[in-house]
Structure 1
Amino acid sequence: MGSPKAKQALERLGNDIRAARLRRGVAVADLAVRAGTSPSSISRLEKGDSGVAIGTLAEVLVALGLIERLTDLVDVRKDDLGLALAGERGPRRGRTFAARLKSQKAKSSKGEGQQDIIDPDGAAF
């Protein structure tokens, strides 16, 4: 269930959370109360159990004062592969809502059939 790499990463994460808890001198039961979860969930998290919810992980990190580490987990500014692939594709231009609305109004005024007109307030007719 899961790749060996994922299992290894979760075990390392669990060990790091345990180490952070112990350095702070916080018991499992106290951390569970602070995070709004059960002591068994804390133990499972520290063992690298993949069934622990990400919300539980976030609450534990808040309780330990490490929540900013979660937000840095997948920093797109440091995604070398993603940045390289985006650079190869070049810039992509999209049409704004105003441009689509203008285009639809122009088509409907020319009588090119009965197409839906988008209302600026979000309702379609």
Structure 2
Amino acid sequence: MVSETAELLGEHLKQWRILLGLSQELAAERANLSMPTLRRIERGDTGVRLGSVLALMDVLNLTERLTEVADPLSTDLGRMRAHLLGRQRARRSQ
């Protein structure tokens, strides 16, 4: 399951890069990644450091979307059980 998710994420990141008109070389340079690391991310290699994936996502302007989707308070379950977290509301978008 994890490797399938990594492969799908890698493919989506590749598609975003292409839609934004960025070559692999330019995306790697802007994210301060080596070309082999960028290729590994786009192939869905689960051995790539999280920091490398986040650096690429930042270049692709996807980090805000990632943090929004990971916020438990953006879900009904998270809001129902917010008292367990010590916060009551989701963070506001900027």
Q: TM-score range, shorter-chain basis?
A: 0.7 to 0.9
- Aligned residue number for residue 43 of structure 1: 39
Q: Which is further off, 67-76 or 34-43?
A: 67-76
CA contact (8 A) 1:58 1:67 kept: yes
CA contact (8 A) 1:41 1:52 kept: yes
1:33 maps to 2:29: yes
Q: CA deviation at 1:6?
A: 1.0
When the two chains are superposed, the root-mean-square deviation of aligned CA atoms in Å is: 2.0
Write out the 4+ residue segments of structure 1 that deviate beyond 2 Å after TM superposition.
none
13, 17, 22: which one aligns with 1:17: 13
CA contact (8 A) 1:14 1:47 kept: yes
Aligned pair in 2 of structure 1 residues 7, 27: CA closer, same or farther (>3 Å)? Answer: same
- Aligned residue number for residue 53 of structure 2: 57
- 1:56-91 superposed Cα distances (whole Å, 9 cap, x missing partner): 1111111111111221242111272x666x48xxx6
Q: Which of structures 1 and 2 has the larger relative contact order (alpha carbons within 8 angstroms, sep 6+)?
A: 2
TM-score normalised to structure 2 length: 0.76
Aligned equivalents of 1:46, 1:71: Cα separation in 2 = 20
- Aligned residue number for residue 95 of structure 1: none
| Total equivalences in the alignment | 83
Q: Which runs of 5+ in 1 are unaligned?
A: 93-125
More helix by proportion, 1 or 2? 2
68, 71, 76: which one aligns with 2:64: 68
- Percentage of matched positions with identical amino acids: 30
Q: Which runs of 5+ in 2 are unaligned?
A: 85-94
Larger gyration radius, structure 1 or structure 2: 1
Paired letter, 1:7: S
Aligned equivalents of 1:71, 1:39: Cα separation in 2 = 26
